[in-house]
A and B are shown apart, each in its own frame.
Chain A
Amino acid sequence: MSAKTLYDKLWDSHVVREEEDGTALIYIDRQLLHEVTSPQAFEGLRLANRKPWRIDANLATPDHNVPTTAFNSVEDIVDPISRIQVQTLDANTKQFGITEFGIGDVRQGIVHVVGPEEGVTLPGMTLVCGDSHTATHGALGALAHGVGTSEVEHVLATQCLIQKKMKNMLVKVDGRLQPGVSPKDVVLAIIGQIGTAGGNGHAIEFGGQVFRDMSIEGRMTVCNMAIEAGARVGLVAVDEKTVEYVKGRPFAPKSEDWDAAVAAWQDLKSDENAQFDKVVEIDGSKIEPQVSWGTSPEMVSDVNGKVPNPSHEVDDVKASGIRRALDYMGLQADMAITDIPVDYVFIGSCTNSRIEDFREAAAVLKGRKVASSVEQALVVPGSGLVKKQAEEEGLDKIFIEAGFEWRNPGCSMCLAMNADRLPSGKHCASTSNRNFEGRQGAGGRTHLVSPQMAAAAAVAGHFVDVRDMMKEAS
């Protein structure tokens, strides 16, 4: 038998049937649901008089619309349209008997934080969610696809997804990261190199020393942004860290099931001689802390670099893209990244709202204060359990003493569907994943960074190399 990639193995083990043209039915083990992309799917089921194929394959939690200020129940959501959407999820899960971690449940949070945290995401499974950042779950060696609402309905009704197999791409980052360089910097550097369409049509496996050394949460940060490189699927091979991470989580297999599962997971890596359609190699030791300057995640720079000059760009479409971005962002060509002021700081989102992210940011903020020019600095945990853990470690106090607001879990200012919005014209150091025009609020100017870089920017009032700030202290 020929050598297979991890993606090949996950695919092969879930094919129910395949047509001659390669269109296949793929069996889906798990579906995560949230309030924004599921109402029309449930409505579709009802209209066609259909039932979910396998109720216990689904798990729901509201995240996008949820307020992050203190409140007790769904009725307290002030925006009536948001409230109806969250209530609709409650009603739909209740009608169909699907488990929901609702408002007030300590397990509620951003779907992509909740799934792995609860052991709902397991190695080797196929998982979908009506959200493009579902790639996150690939960090555990699961084949995880972001899908549209029609597909949410399709999976509810049939437990299958209609798919054509993607191509295989390997992004190999070897060497060792410099201190102060985080998984977020790694993935931003990758996107900066291959572009936002670099992974279109491919499943990306992240391989090499850097990912072997990386924690599972770090791998989630990287896989989360596979979609920003154009790939619907991001993957990291299963190793001891994966098994260790999953062990003992509420939904993880128990006793003899556990042993059988672990044995089955051993093969969840690409074979030695597996062929990839595309390979990109990057030297991890050369990656610097990153800051995005434009309106697409590929518009990134080293923190010590400069905003690009469109007149140096030969490609016309690209040059006009840069010009448009500089205009929107209110930046001048050739200015130093460290001269960009920071008005808002947002630490959160499914990319960077886990406990390790908060530890890194808190380490920078300890004994420091947010600059007086910063108008608002928010920390928003990815789930109620992350919040609880951080409070047990005293991280909340460090954030609050530094001048941050310590909030309740949800998507928050990552896309500003709730009340947390970036005002027009303001620059935000954000640990989220998208810097599109208007993403964090109409007219808002997003700069994507790691948690430690966001913390350092909060203190300085402009972007700064976090390594310099930490050096001063020691």
Chain B
Amino acid sequence: MSMDKFTALTAIVAPMDRSNVDTDAIIPKQFLKSIKRTGFGPNLFDEWRYEDVGEPGVDNSNRPLRKEFLLNQPRYQGARILLARENFGCGSSREHAPWALKDYGFDVIIAPSFADIFFNNSFKNGILPIVLDEAIIDGLFKEVFAEEGYQLTVDLEHQQIKKPNGEAIPFEVDSFRRHCLLNGLDDIGLTLQHEDEIKAFEAKYKAASPWLYR
């Protein structure tokens, strides 16, 4: 699947101030029964977001909201950047988690650390996960809480985040993943450019481990 190109964005930041946010919380299991990749946005953080228990196929627009939940607060409407704590996206490998975040409208997640599989899945769906120092994250949380409508600019090309006061925070990203995101490249297409190498490896490997090919 090819993706949209990711370049730069300026958007409202939603602060999720808890560590170890797991993929069961991001998208509860009942929604994993879908055989599609889209439509998960309304059920993002379902159990935290709504008063009742969500089920697939139900119209979410009439469900009672938990007013205090982050994404239900008027000040964070339209947020496309999620500010998070340690080990974001831990637990199950469900790619439905980044699908739900993306479908809701998040393009960037900033955290001190991510769970490995989630981190990987994010890139494959045009979401940029950014790792920053705990101290910088702490500072960002304070600023987001203090100022309604707080926005950040994330510039992948130049690998930096710009704060409203103009201060720039540099961030690291794998060159391969950056290249794929910037150009909206499809992993499978890229890999198949090396088809001959894979075939050559396979032939050699098969000769050495024939029992794997019977």
Chain A interface residues (CB < 8 Å from chain B): 16-17, 19, 21, 23, 25, 27, 29, 36-37, 39-40, 43-44, 47-48, 50, 53, 56, 64-65, 79, 81-82, 84-85, 88, 122, 124-125, 130-132, 134, 146-151, 153-154, 157-160, 162, 164, 166, 196-197, 200-201, 227, 230-232, 253, 257-258, 260-261, 264, 296, 317-318, 320-321, 324, 415-417, 434, 436-439, 442
> In the complex, A56 Cα to B19 Cα: how many Å?
42
**Cβ of A79: which chain B residues have Cβ within 8 Å of it?**
33
Other-chain residue from B17, B24, B32, B175 in contact with A439 (beta carbon distance below 8 A): B24
> In the complex, A445 Cα to B198 Cα: how many Å?
48
Contact A196 B188 (CB under 8 A): no
**Cβ of A17: which chain B residues have Cβ within 8 Å of it?**
194, 197
CB within 8 Å of A: which B84-134 residues: 85-87, 90-95, 98, 113-117, 120-121, 124-125
- Closest residue to B48 on the A side, CB-wise? A437
> In the complex, A258 Cα to B212 Cα: how many Å?
11
B64: Cβ under 8 A from any A Cβ: no
**Cβ of A64: which chain B residues have Cβ within 8 Å of it?**
32
B67: Cβ under 8 A from any A Cβ: no
> In the complex, A166 Cα to B174 Cα: how many Å?
14
Q: Can you list 24 A-B contacts (CB < 8 A)?
A: A16-B197, A23-B176, A25-B197, A40-B37, A50-B188, A65-B33, A81-B56, A131-B93, A132-B92, A132-B93, A134-B93, A147-B117, A148-B95, A149-B95, A151-B121, A157-B188, A157-B191, A160-B191, A197-B113, A200-B114, A253-B214, A320-B18, A415-B92, A434-B24
> In the complex, A370 Cα to B51 Cα: how many Å?
34
Stretch at the interface among B6-14, B71-79, B153-161, B203-211: B203-211
B146: Cβ under 8 A from any A Cβ: no
B36: Cβ under 8 A from any A Cβ: yes
**Cβ of A296: which chain B residues have Cβ within 8 Å of it?**
20, 22
B28: Cβ under 8 A from any A Cβ: yes
Shortest beta-carbon distance from A49 to chain B in Å? 12
> In the complex, A296 Cα to B198 Cα: how many Å?
40
Contact A416 B93 (CB under 8 A): no
Contact B90 A146 (CB under 8 A): no
> In the complex, A19 Cα to B17 Cα: how many Å?
37
Q: Which 7 A-B pairs have the closest CB atoms?
A: A253-B211, A39-B35, A148-B95, A148-B121, A150-B124, A132-B93, A257-B211
Contact A317 B85 (CB under 8 A): yes
Shortest beta-carbon distance from B3 to chain A in Å? 10
Contact B174 A260 (CB under 8 A): no
Shortest beta-carbon distance from B12 to chain A in Å? 23
> In the complex, A21 Cα to B201 Cα: how many Å?
21
**Cβ of A81: which chain B residues have Cβ within 8 Å of it?**
33-34, 56-57
B30: Cβ under 8 A from any A Cβ: yes
**Cβ of B135: which chain A residues have Cβ within 8 Å of it?**
none
Shortest beta-carbon distance from A425 to chain B in Å? 13
Other-chain residue from B20, B187, B201, B214 in contact with A154 (beta carbon distance below 8 A): B187
**Cβ of A131: which chain B residues have Cβ within 8 Å of it?**
92-93
Contact A125 B212 (CB under 8 A): yes
Other-chain residue from B25, B35, B176 in contact with A88 (beta carbon distance below 8 A): B35
Contact A438 B28 (CB under 8 A): yes
The winner among B19, B86, B92 for most chain A CB atoms within 10 A is: B92
Query: Given contacts A39-B35, A130-B93, A296-B22, could you give 6 more A-B pairs where the C-beta distance is less than 8 Å?
Result: A25-B194, A146-B117, A162-B176, A200-B115, A230-B115, A416-B29
